[in-house]
Amino acid sequence: MASGGWAFGGTRRRARGFGGFGGFGRSLGARASNGDDGVDAALTTVRDDDGASPRDAAMMKEERVGHGGNWGESSGRSGKTPAAFESIDGEVFRPRERLKTNADFDRVKRFGRTFNGSHLRIKAVDNASYDAATCTRLGIVVPKKRVRRAVDRNLIKRRIRHVFRTNKDKWPPRVDIIVFAGDTALEGGFEGLRDDMFAWASDYVVRVEQSKRGAQFKQEKKRRAAKFNNTPEPTPTNP
């Protein structure tokens, strides 16, 4: 009897704690007198949505939808705009403006043009023909061997990101950029990093134009050589 009374009293206390969930406390308390079997039956009944009130069923449905990650459907809010179509106008730094994958970093390291500034080393490559890119993108590398403290590495990254997002009109369009920073980046301060990035932008534009002119000159040279080789030799005349 003592054990039964203890189970009954403990069950009643637990039932009062769940009184707000669609009559859970009333259902559990009514079945507590039947012992453990009654409690198990009560829990089974409460878990079954068929016996729930309309209000409780709606709450359960909303919780399930929200838990599944589609909260906009249950709340009536519209879904989030895809990252590929987010506007990058203004002083923002969107996810699609970041270099994220190892393939992106390897591509820039392998094919990019190198610029060595006073405090930064920058590599950049055109991404106009790269399907994964939709705009100019930035990646930052601050090796732990060069900058030991994490707070200093984070400071350098914040400064570089700030320069990038607040001066978008100065960067070449459709370019992937990797900025390599070492211990000298701390010595230069914010102004040193900004000046190096501005100098890179000007240098990159000049070098790209030189490369285009050089490619055009080579094509013209090949065209002239092909035209000369295809010219028929003059027929010798008899004396």
> Does 78 map to a domain?
no
137 within 8 A of 128, measured Cβ to Cβ: no
Q: What is the pLDDT of residues 207-223, one digit of tens each?
A: 888 877 777 777 777 77
Q: What is the pLDDT of residues 38-94, one digit of tens each?
A: 545 444 444 444 555 555 555 554 444 444 444 333 344 445 555 557 788 888 899
Count other Cβ atoms within 10 Å, centred on residue 32: 21
Average pLDDT value for the chain: 74
Q: Among residues 49, 67, 85, which one ends one of the domains?
A: 67
User: What is the chain's Cα-based Rg?
Assistant: 35
Mean pLDDT of 102-123: 94
Question: How is the chain classified by DSSP, letter by letter?
Answer: -HHHHHHHHHHHHHHHHTTTTTTHHHHHHHHGGG-HHHHHHHHHHHH-GGGS-HHHHHHHHHHHHHHTT-HHHHH-PPPPPPGGGS---SS---GGGB--SHHHHHHHHHHPEEEE-SSEEEEEEE-TT-TT-SS-EEEEE--TTTS--HHHHHHHHHHHHHHHHH-GGGSPSSEEEEEEE-THHHHHHHHHHHHHHHHHHHHHHHHHHHHHHHHHHHHHHHHHHHHHHTSPPPPPPP-
Separation between Cα atoms, residue 14 and residue 25, nearest integer Å:
8
Checking DSSP bridges between strand 175-181 and strand 137-141, what pairing results, if any?
parallel
- For 36, the domain range is 2-67
Count other Cβ atoms within 10 Å, centred on residue 204: 21
Separation between Cα atoms, residue 127 and residue 134, nearest integer Å:
8
> Does 234 map to a domain?
no
141 within 8 A of 179, measured Cβ to Cβ: yes
CATH, residue 127 = 3.30.230.10
- Given a cut of 90, whether residue 108 has pLDDT beyond it is yes
Residues 46 and 133 in one domain: no
What's the pTM value of the predicted model, to 2 decimals? 0.57
Mean pLDDT of 150-156: 95
> Does 189 map to a domain?
yes
- Given a cut of 90, whether residue 234 has pLDDT beyond it is no
Residues 198 and 111 in one domain: yes
Residues 214 and 165 in one domain: yes
User: Which token pair is 142?
Assistant: 């601050």
> Does 88 map to a domain?
no
> Does 199 map to a domain?
yes
Separation between Cα atoms, residue 95 and residue 165, nearest integer Å:
12
> Does 75 map to a domain?
no
Which residue has 């589609």 as its token pair?
70
User: Which token pair is 8?
Assistant: 């009954």
Q: Among residues 67, 83, 109, which one ends one of the domains?
A: 67
> In the prediction, which pLDDT does 129 show?
86
Domain count, the chain: 2
